[in-house]
Chains A and B, each alone.
Chain A
Amino acid sequence: MEINREFYSGNTRKITDSNSNMIVEFISNSLYTDITATPTKYIGKEWDKSASPWKINYKSEFFNLDYMLGYNAGYEEPVTVAQSKFFKERKKGYTFYLSSNGGNSFSGAHSRLFPVWLATLSRSDINLSDTVTNNWVNDKYKELHPVINFDYSKIFAVPFLQIKNEGNRVLFSESLRANFDPTNYSGWGVGFVYKNGVNNIDLAMEIVSLNNTFLTPDWLTTNCFSSEEFDNGLSITTYDVSSATVRNVAQLGERMQYSGNTGTYFDPNDFASTDIAGIMQYYPNRMIYINGTENPIYNNVYYGGFISNNMRPFRRTFASGVTFDDLAEYIAKEMAYIGFRFLVDCSQINQPIDSEYYYIPEINSAGVTTGNYYTADSAEAAQLPNNDWTTDVYSVTPYDGTDDDEDEDPNDYDDSNTTVLNPIPIDWSNDFQNYYVMSTVDVQRVAAYLYSELPTNQPANDFLTNNPIDCVVSLMLFPFEVSRDPDYPNPIVYFGKVKGYYPDTQIELIAKGYIRGQVQEIDCGECVYYPEYGVNDFRSYEPYCDAELILPYCGSVKLSPTAIYCKTTEQNFHKIGVKYIVDLITGACIACVYLDSLLIDTVNGQIGMTIPITGIKSADMDRDITYKQAAAKTAQNTALSSLASAVVGTVNGFISAGMSPNPINIGGAALNAVTSALSYDSAEENYKTKVYDLQHIQVPFSVRGSASPLCDFRNEQFPRLLIKRPVMLDYTPEVYAHSVGYACLKTGVIKEYGAAEGETPQYIECTGIDFSGFGGTEIEKARLKACLEGGLYL
């Protein structure tokens, strides 16, 4: 199963399988910020539980942790220092007690809690408690082997503090101690104020985050420290090495015992408070007793002691005969995986941490260690985010745009500087109406058609409205050739469902085509302006120079002369281009101003001119005629009928009168005749009215569209770039230059701006002179300054 090591800021280390399931998450003890620990007496092989063993304050977030892994250096095996049982027993609050496996006691004098990882398991099928039986070979836990089996005892890296004074001079280096005063925390979360008041601390152990500290279990101070840089009266206690009572020197985490197995571990109280170095001793060519045995296991061991001229690098010879040198690469890589900065030569501990003696691990931008490492003075190391002690690795350095800003410009510029217009998402053309492209002649034919009578064989409702004119939506004139749909050349012009035709010849009305899409782009071209005075002359820029773009149908737009011509070493001039985007349905347009390929400005306008089109409502007219014809006919019939009645009535009346000798009856008959005659007259009058109506039918016209002004059509039909630039008064440049010089802002040596030997001196004014080495009085200095600023000929 592939193991992925990840090291995050906040000092969390995860091990995941190839499916990114977290197996184990380690959190270094460096999250402890408040550490107190009280040593206890070591009795026999157990801590005196009545005295507090390691008491570590930790953050409440860790209550959920299941295990704490440590490494008991007294045993060549990892130990679950705290088990779930233990954690259940822990007190709520901020303390818990370390215990070794199986109980609440250490089996070693000092459990090597460095590095201490708090582990939490995220997979239920892995139970670290199984490891109590040291069943590490179990395939189930194989993925943990690289971590758990890591031989921390063979770590030759030395965690230490390097304390410097104000002059950045290293006073001493020392491993982190468990019993330092927590009230003096400062800096990286490790507050260590040396009692002499030194409080600038460089935390020399690489931890890829801030505010970390390491808990080191040992009362053993580092085996390496400086004896050369002591200041402030520090001293080191030395011991008589010839004494039979030999104090063993142990590597970090090593158990140490007095020979003779008194059971008393070394007690820091043995040392003076000024003895910050503790028990560092150098035993050249001496035997080292380890593990309290009489028989030295290790022979000819070099160990770190005072970093002095007698210093030797530490090297451990394993019983198996494998030397450190063989493991160096392995160890270094594992250290790099963990994320430690490390030394391999303890004698160099006092070297600057960015020197060749230190190695720093590679951590990529995601905070993941790669296992690679570099000497701290290498170019590769300089690029690493964890290279700088004092900088929060994961902080973002604000980019301030200065030339020496090491951060890249974070702005995500468009390198192409090109505007790409969107394709039109909606095109209503030719969906609900027909949009015909027509010439003038075509339009005239349409007009003729619209004035013609309704064809007798054409139902009115085929027009979809009442009249052909009502089918016309709009007529618009464009001052350019409208793009046509190539799929439909020469379309017949339809009004509703009715083909238009030419009235005289009945030939179908044909258009040039359909419009090709609702929007058309017109490229008007481009130009380049080369300023008269050049790009390095102030007269080419505002406010001395103005530029304006005149855009037909849209108006005008101001341009900055700076935008028109750019000032580069290649004297590259911009092109000013104009494109129109026209809506062929509404006639609206947008003039787009381009600087090379980049759209820099737009102006709205109206380019399509509405043409009013009129026509007869021929159907209405026909209907009107028909109705009035019918009405006249009816009126006529009525009149004739009345006349007949009147004539008959009159005859009847007179006949009656003739046959009667009664003259009175004759009057009655006459009256009847008159009445009949009157009836006829009324009908005839009505008839005449109807005929009049028929003869005076008003032709029903309809007008489509209102006229829009064609004034812009009279304007110039191309854009113009208008440049307004200054005019010079009459002057002689050479005289001007010699009298007052040209304004500039250069830095240089004064005499280089003067004339060559033998030539006429040239005018110069200057300022900002450094009067170092001036041998005159203050008055002379002021006068000279005035002379230089006032001008001289050189």
Chain B
Amino acid sequence: MQITIYINTADSRVANKSGHLTTIASLSGRPTEADSIITPQIIVDWKPQYNRVNYAYIVDFGKYYFIKDIVVKSGGQAILYLDADDRYNWYDYYKNKTVIITRSEKIGAPTEIPDSKLPIDPNRHELLTLPILKNGAPAFAQTINQCDYVLATVGNIKETVQPNE
């Protein structure tokens, strides 16, 4: 089977790796034994210049793979231990799906949903106060002159002194 080997510079979690792949070679290989197409082991003829490769594409399977390990054998061969790149392989399938987004960089800021990963200081808090004032002044007296006494006496005579004119 034909297998193309690449150097991939993108994070493994990047979905669309086109643009991040540098083709190194196109090889002919065969499975070592009965293998899953998701994690195949392919024997190829190996050259030293292939040592930096980390990504592969198997034409027969139509899938892209991470090269998990390269085991060099005698006789100029190597076994490539591959693991399918599900994010890239099914990219066209899921990119238009409507789903529930649980975490997003694009959203730009924390939301109403509690985020246990957000680095909130577990020990410290900020304490702030807002005075409640009436027209900028406290409601109650600041000095004795702003206080009033209420004297209660027995009796019920109401007599007032008229102010001098």
Chain A residues near B (Cβ < 8 Å): 430-440, 442-443, 446, 464-465, 471-482, 488-497, 499, 508, 510-512, 514-515, 522-527, 529, 533, 536-539, 541, 544, 550, 552, 576-578, 580, 584-585, 608, 611, 716-731, 733, 736-738, 740-751, 753-755, 761-770, 773-777, 779-780, 783-784, 787-794
**With contacts A538-B112, A742-B107, A780-B84 known, is A728 near B132, CB below 8 A?**
no
Assess the B119–A536 pair: CB atoms within 8 A: no
Assess the A494–B155 pair: CB atoms within 8 A: yes
The chain A residue sitting closest to B159, CB to CB, is A492
Separation of A488 and B161 alpha carbons in the complex (Å): 9
Separation of A405 and B162 alpha carbons in the complex (Å): 71
Tell me the interface secondary structure of chain A in the complex.
Answer: mixed
Chain B residue numbers with a CB within 8 Å of A464 are 154-155
Question: Closest 8 A-B residue pairs measured CB to CB?
Answer: A741-B103, A717-B140, A718-B138, A525-B134, A743-B115, A524-B139, A473-B152, A765-B103
Chain A residue numbers with a CB within 8 Å of B99 are 747-750, 766-769, 788
Q: Which one, B13, B97, B131, B159, contacts A791 given CB within 8 A?
A: B13
Chain B residue numbers with a CB within 8 Å of A471 are 153-155
Assess the B86–A537 pair: CB atoms within 8 A: no
B39 to chain A, nearest CB (A): 10
Assess the A763–B105 pair: CB atoms within 8 A: yes
B12 to chain A, nearest CB (A): 9
A-B contact pairs, 11 of them (CB 8 A): A433-B154, A434-B156, A442-B151, A465-B154, A514-B158, A515-B150, A522-B139, A525-B133, A721-B132, A749-B99, A750-B95
B95 to chain A, nearest CB (A): 4
Assess the B156–A430 pair: CB atoms within 8 A: yes
Assess the B138–A749 pair: CB atoms within 8 A: no
Assess the B113–A493 pair: CB atoms within 8 A: no
Taking CB atoms and an 8 Å cut-off, the chain B residues in 106-152 that contact chain A are 106-121, 124-135, 138-142, 144-152
Separation of A749 and B101 alpha carbons in the complex (Å): 9
A18 to chain B, nearest CB (A): 62
Separation of A787 and B83 alpha carbons in the complex (Å): 13
Assess the A482–B150 pair: CB atoms within 8 A: yes
Chain A residue numbers with a CB within 8 Å of B130 are 527, 529, 720-721, 723
Q: Which of B84, B124, B132 has its CB near the most chain A CB atoms (within 10 A)?
A: B132
Separation of A722 and B128 alpha carbons in the complex (Å): 6
Chain B residue numbers with a CB within 8 Å of A430 are 156, 158
B16 at the interface (CB under 8 A from A): yes
- Tally chain B residues at the interface, Cβ within 8 Å: 78
Assess the B154–A480 pair: CB atoms within 8 A: no
The chain A residue sitting closest to B102, CB to CB, is A765
Assess the B105–A436 pair: CB atoms within 8 A: no
Q: Which one, B112, B116, B157, B161, contacts A537 given CB within 8 A?
A: B112
Assess the A725–B125 pair: CB atoms within 8 A: yes
**With contacts A472-B151, A538-B115, A761-B15 known, is A746 near B105, CB below 8 A?**
no
Chain B residue numbers with a CB within 8 Å of A495 are 153-155
Chain A residue numbers with a CB within 8 Å of B141 are 479-481, 717
Separation of A424 and B94 alpha carbons in the complex (Å): 69
Q: Which one, A473, A525, A727, A761, contacts B154 given CB within 8 A?
A: A473
**With contacts A475-B150, A525-B134, A745-B113 known, is A508 near B98, CB below 8 A?**
no
Q: Which one, B87, B98, B107, B157, contacts A749 given CB within 8 A?
A: B98
The chain B residue sitting closest to A789, CB to CB, is B102
Chain B residue numbers with a CB within 8 Å of A577 are 132
Chain B residue numbers with a CB within 8 Å of A774 are 90, 93
Taking CB atoms and an 8 Å cut-off, the chain B residues in 1-33 that contact chain A are 10-11, 13-16
Separation of A440 and B151 alpha carbons in the complex (Å): 11
**With contacts A440-B149, A747-B100, A784-B90 known, is A742 near B156, CB below 8 A?**
no
Chain A residue numbers with a CB within 8 Å of B121 are 726-729
B29 to chain A, nearest CB (A): 21
**With contacts A511-B151, A727-B120, A746-B107 known, is A480 near B140, CB below 8 A?**
yes
For the complex with contacts A514-B158, A541-B112, 20 further pairs of A-B residues with Cβ separation under 8 Å are A433-B154, A434-B157, A436-B151, A436-B153, A478-B147, A482-B148, A488-B160, A494-B157, A497-B155, A585-B150, A720-B129, A722-B129, A736-B117, A742-B110, A746-B100, A748-B101, A779-B38, A787-B13, A790-B13, A793-B11
Assess the B152–A726 pair: CB atoms within 8 A: no
Q: Which one, B94, B98, B124, B139, contacts A580 given CB within 8 A?
A: B139
Assess the A746–B155 pair: CB atoms within 8 A: no
The chain A residue sitting closest to B99, CB to CB, is A766
B104 at the interface (CB under 8 A from A): yes
The chain A residue sitting closest to B93, CB to CB, is A774
B51 at the interface (CB under 8 A from A): no
B96 at the interface (CB under 8 A from A): yes
B163 at the interface (CB under 8 A from A): yes
Separation of A758 and B146 alpha carbons in the complex (Å): 70
Assess the B149–A479 pair: CB atoms within 8 A: no
Chain A residue numbers with a CB within 8 Å of B13 are 787, 790-793
**With contacts A432-B156, A717-B139, A753-B104 known, is A536 near B112, CB below 8 A?**
yes
The chain B residue sitting closest to A790, CB to CB, is B13
**With contacts A436-B150, A480-B148 known, is A488 near B158, CB below 8 A?**
yes
Chain B residue numbers with a CB within 8 Å of A511 are 151
Separation of A489 and B159 alpha carbons in the complex (Å): 9
Assess the B148–A473 pair: CB atoms within 8 A: no
Chain A residue numbers with a CB within 8 Å of B16 are 761, 794
Separation of A473 and B161 alpha carbons in the complex (Å): 23
Assess the A474–B152 pair: CB atoms within 8 A: yes
Chain A residue numbers with a CB within 8 Å of B134 are 523-525
Separation of A430 and B151 alpha carbons in the complex (Å): 11
Assess the B148–A742 pair: CB atoms within 8 A: no
Separation of A748 and B101 alpha carbons in the complex (Å): 7
Assess the B158–A727 pair: CB atoms within 8 A: no
B69 to chain A, nearest CB (A): 19
Assess the B117–A740 pair: CB atoms within 8 A: yes
Assess the B95–A434 pair: CB atoms within 8 A: no
Separation of A721 and B118 alpha carbons in the complex (Å): 27
**With contacts A745-B102, A773-B93 known, is A720 near B132, CB below 8 A?**
yes
**With contacts A436-B150, A721-B130 known, is A537 near B94, CB below 8 A?**
no
Separation of A524 and B133 alpha carbons in the complex (Å): 6
A562 to chain B, nearest CB (A): 11
Assess the B156–A433 pair: CB atoms within 8 A: yes
Chain A residue numbers with a CB within 8 Å of B36 are 779
A790 to chain B, nearest CB (A): 8
Separation of A465 and B135 alpha carbons in the complex (Å): 47
Chain A residue numbers with a CB within 8 Å of B135 are 525
A513 to chain B, nearest CB (A): 9
Separation of A464 and B149 alpha carbons in the complex (Å): 23
Chain B residue numbers with a CB within 8 Å of A550 are 129
Q: Which one, B113, B120, B129, B160, contacts A544 given CB within 8 A?
A: B120
**With contacts A438-B149, A479-B141 known, is A724 near B126, CB below 8 A?**
yes
Chain A residue numbers with a CB within 8 Å of B159 are 491-492, 494, 499
Separation of A442 and B148 alpha carbons in the complex (Å): 10
Separation of A489 and B119 alpha carbons in the complex (Å): 65
Assess the A767–B98 pair: CB atoms within 8 A: no
